Amino acid sequence: MATYRIGSDIGGTFTDTVALNDETGGITLGKVLTTADDPSRGAVEGITTTVRQARGHLAGVRHIVHGTTLVTNALIERKGARTGLIITKGFRDTLIVGKEKRYVEYDMQIELPTPLVPRRWTKEVNERLDARGNVLVPLERGDVLRALEELLSEGVEAVAVCLLHSFRNPAHERLIGAILQEKAPRLAVSLSVDVIPQIREFERATTTAVNAYTQPLLRTYLRSMAASLRQAACHGSLYVMLSNGGIASRDTAERFPVRVLESGPAAGVLAAAYYGELLGEPHLLSFDMGGTTAKAGIAEAGRPLTTTNFEAARVQRFKQGSGYPIKLPAIDLIEIGAGGGSIARIDRLGLLKVGPDSAGAAPGPICYGGGGSEPTVTDADLLLGHLNPAYFLGGDMALEVEGSRRLMAEKIAAPLGVDVVRAAWGIHQVVDENMANAARVYCIEKGRDPSRLTLIAFGGAGPLHAFWIAEKLGMRRILYPLGAGATSALGFLTAPFSFDFVRTLMGRLDQLDYARLTSLFAEMEAEGRALLRQAGVPDEEISIRRYGEMRYVGQAHEIYVPLPDGPLTPDSATALRRAFDLAYEQLLHRTNADYPVEGLNWRLLASAAKPRLRLRSVPRRAGQRLEDARRPERLAYFPDHGELRACPVYDRYRLFEGAAFDGPAIIEERESTVVLGPNCHAESDAYLNLLVSRG
């Protein structure tokens, strides 16, 4: 019986599945509409359908790596557990006060994110540690019992514990955790010393509160999904993608749901990194455009960029500072409110606007025939001739052209005084410009020049728009992977088991307590190895990478610095300074040699070896001709022509290694469509990936 590895990615509109045959390297892709009422139902449906399409059996599924937006959605929609917070006396308003900073300085009507824990469910305990972790006021057991009794009387289901300076000394938090476990064993409890043992009280309290708030929900969801899979006779192990690009066991994900916030978007950048290694493209900008959002991230030398500063559930979706700060490692990417379902409208000034609101899976774009009544990007792509109405999802879902045409004329074309095609191209231009601008700013913030990167485009809508994104960014090379519509799901299968840890130890590099730092790294490494052993990873396959968060003395923010291997002693100060200078110069293109540097937080990533993917190559057969891959031409719009013209159409699955042609062209596959404008050259490789050179 053939064995399979499954990647399962739940998006806002579609749920994508990829089944990889371990023996042949063959990949089978599946795409079903997301079931918003219970996303796990769509995930299980996608898995069973895709394995059936692969002519396999669910009993042959070895393991499933799953990514979900459940945690993020729970925060946005405020559908988590009733959560309490136990905090040091005098700090009850930590979540309310925050940083006392406006994310839009002069907006007098600014809306701040509502704390996940109401003040009435925040309970103080009389204890105190000093900044070095020494006990100033001992913790009294009776104080904890009183707080617990009050929380239980108000129906609290989860409790976060965050005491002042506990990252220096976890004893008081550990004691509270033991008392809560003893007296209320069914209560979901999150201790900050487990979730995020590092400096900065507000961020630590917020991150721990998010973990507690979403813990019961994710636990129920994952257990329900596991039960549904067993009921379907699928007994493969269920793993969950983490925000940092690693995977963890179901038990670990249930303990730390805050680490699952960015699990879906992370997989796309992982897939880009994999293709970069496979095809020898070391510098990539990933562009993942689905039905609801577009995401962009950078992958270099086979690894995605990571960050320890991101936010969840922003009040103003694209304004930094308007969400809950999460101080945990995550793949660094930018989210743009642009997808196939993004709604177009004419604003009060008579200008065309697109997004960020989306028609989603229900009702969806007008052309889906699900009751949608607002023109979307997908409707525009259809009216431009870029989409084949009879071959959407390989023909499983027919698109309704006339409904799109009628409402596009009524709501967009008539108010603008243009015809339907020009209105559709206007939508296309607006959404492309939005995405290109966001990607440009993102690259510049990371110290990268987008024109020096190769764009890799995927997602259901990404290949439709990537050519014009690349044009606006001055990018000359574009990579379209085979199965682009579900490439993110493939990214799940490239992720290793991994977990990261953090400890705070402040000090100038030339004055740091290196003995203490060595002890902290040894402690984190022991935890990491134990966690990976529990997941079945052999010791010899575990790798350890160390990082520091450093800054110039006096700076308010620090940067992420990879540390050299080997022992850390006072003699290491020069090597650490050199590593900091290299990272700082790459990010900001300058250094300040006269300023001393200090370390703040120290991180360790414990990971297993990357899974080996053996994609099936498709060598050219004797007698294969490009003409055999041609489909009937159709009318399509390109701005260079200014009108609908007959355009060559190719069947992606009938291309072969070395198949080459020039644009304009349309290349169709089941889950996505590649659209190439004029003045470009395309060539297919042995894996049927399409490499395009512009100009």
613 domain-assigned: no
Looking at the structure, tell me whether residues 392 and 462 fall in a common domain. yes
Query: What is the count of structural domains for the chain?
Result: 5
Instruction: Give 350-396 pLDDT, tens digit per residue.
Output: 999 998 888 877 788 999 988 889 999 999 999 999 999 998 888 88
Predicted local distance difference test score (pLDDT) of residue 569: 93
Predicted local distance difference test score (pLDDT) of residue 102: 79
| Prediction pTM value | 0.86
79 domain-assigned: no
Predicted local distance difference test score (pLDDT) of residue 240: 92
Predicted local distance difference test score (pLDDT) of residue 624: 85
645 domain-assigned: no
Smallest Cα–Cα separation from 67: which of 174, 221, 209, 205? Answer: 221
What mean pLDDT do residues 334-346 have? 88
Q: 687 and 615 in contact (C-beta within 8 Å)?
A: yes
Looking at the structure, tell me whether residues 367 and 477 fall in a common domain. yes
Predicted local distance difference test score (pLDDT) of residue 78: 87
Of 63-77, 414-428, 493-507, which range is least confident? 63-77
Looking at the structure, tell me whether residues 445 and 351 fall in a common domain. yes
Local structure of residue 411 (DSSP, 8 states) = I
- Domain at 294, CATH number: 3.30.420
* 470-475: Cβ within 8 A, 24+ apart: 470/694, 471/677, 471/694, 472/432, 472/433, 472/436, 472/440, 473/285, 473/436, 473/439, 473/440, 473/443, 474/450, 475/285, 475/450, 475/451, 475/694
206 domain-assigned: no
Cβ neighbour number for residue 51 with a 10 Å cutoff: 24
Cβ neighbour number for residue 391 with a 10 Å cutoff: 19
643-651: strand order across its sheet:
630-638, 643-651, 665-668, 673-676
The rounded percent of the chain whose pLDDT value lies above 70 is: 99
Looking at the structure, tell me whether residues 129 and 109 fall in a common domain. yes
Instruction: List all residues 6 or more positions away from 439 whose beta carbon is below 8 Å from its beta carbon.
Output: 285, 287, 296, 334, 336, 450, 469, 473
Predicted local distance difference test score (pLDDT) of residue 12: 66
Q: Is the pLDDT of residue 493 over 80?
A: yes
Exposed (0-12), middle (13-18) or buried (19+): which is 352, by Cβ within 10 Å?
Answer: middle
Looking at the structure, tell me whether residues 655 and 582 fall in a common domain. no
Smallest Cα–Cα separation from 494: which of 606, 614, 604, 605? Answer: 614
What mean pLDDT do residues 493-507 have? 91
Looking at the structure, tell me whether residues 474 and 394 fall in a common domain. yes
Looking at the structure, tell me whether residues 434 and 351 fall in a common domain. yes
Distance of CA 247 to the CA centre of its chain: 13
Residue 648 CA to residue 24 CA, distance in Å, equals: 33
Distance of CA 8 to the CA centre of its chain: 14
400 — phi, psi (to 5°)?
-95, 105
282 — phi, psi (to 5°)?
-75, -20
Instruction: Give 52-91 pLDDT, tens digit per residue.
Output: 888 888 888 888 999 887 888 788 888 899 999 999 999 9
Predicted local distance difference test score (pLDDT) of residue 596: 95
Of 58-67, 107-116, 455-464, 679-688, which range is least confident? 107-116
657 domain-assigned: yes
What mean pLDDT do residues 439-462 have? 92
Q: What share of the chain is helix, strand, coil (3-state, %, to 5)?
A: 35, 25, 35
Predicted local distance difference test score (pLDDT) of residue 317: 63
Range of the domain at 561: 498-607
- The alpha-carbon radius of gyration of the chain (Å, integer) is 26
Q: 372 and 363 in contact (C-beta within 8 Å)?
A: yes
512 domain-assigned: yes
The rounded percent of the chain whose pLDDT value lies above 90 is: 61
Q: In the structure, what pLDDT confidence band is assigned to residue 236 with cuts at 50, 70 and 90? A: confident
Q: 13 and 33 in contact (C-beta within 8 Å)?
A: yes
* Amino acid, res. 85: L
Query: Strands 330-331, 306-307: parallel, antiparallel or unpaired by DSSP?
Result: antiparallel
Place of tokens 């514990």: 161
Smallest Cα–Cα separation from 355: which of 334, 371, 340? Answer: 340
Looking at the structure, tell me whether residues 470 and 506 fall in a common domain. no
4-10: strand order across its sheet:
27-33, 14-21, 4-10, 61-67, 237-241, 247-249
Looking at the structure, tell me whether residues 385 and 484 fall in a common domain. yes
- Domain at 46, CATH number: 3.30.420.40
- Alpha carbons within 13 A on the beta-carbon side of 672: 29
Predicted local distance difference test score (pLDDT) of residue 579: 95
Instruction: List all residues 6 or more positions away from 12 whose beta carbon is below 8 Å from its beta carbon.
Output: 34, 69, 290, 291, 292, 293, 339, 341, 358, 360, 361
13 domain-assigned: yes
Q: 204 and 198 in contact (C-beta within 8 Å)?
A: yes
What mean pLDDT do residues 588-600 have? 91
Residue 291 CA to residue 359 CA, distance in Å, equals: 8
Looking at the structure, tell me whether residues 375 and 460 fall in a common domain. yes
Predicted local distance difference test score (pLDDT) of residue 571: 92
- Measured between alpha carbons, how far is residue 486 from residues 29, 31, 77, 375 in Å? 7, 8, 27, 25
Map residue 65 onto helix, strand or coil. Answer: strand
Looking at the structure, tell me whether residues 360 and 278 fall in a common domain. yes
Across the chain, what does the average pLDDT equal? 91
Looking at the structure, tell me whether residues 388 and 491 fall in a common domain. yes
Exposed (0-12), middle (13-18) or buried (19+): which is 618, by Cβ within 10 Å?
Answer: middle
Instruction: List all residues 6 or more positions away from 588 whose beta carbon is below 8 Å from its beta carbon.
Output: 447
* Amino acid, res. 376: T
Q: Could you tell me the two tokens for 117?
A: 């824990």
Q: Is the pLDDT of residue 310 over 80?
A: yes
363 domain-assigned: yes
What mean pLDDT do residues 313-319 have? 72
Residue 201 CA to residue 213 CA, distance in Å, equals: 18
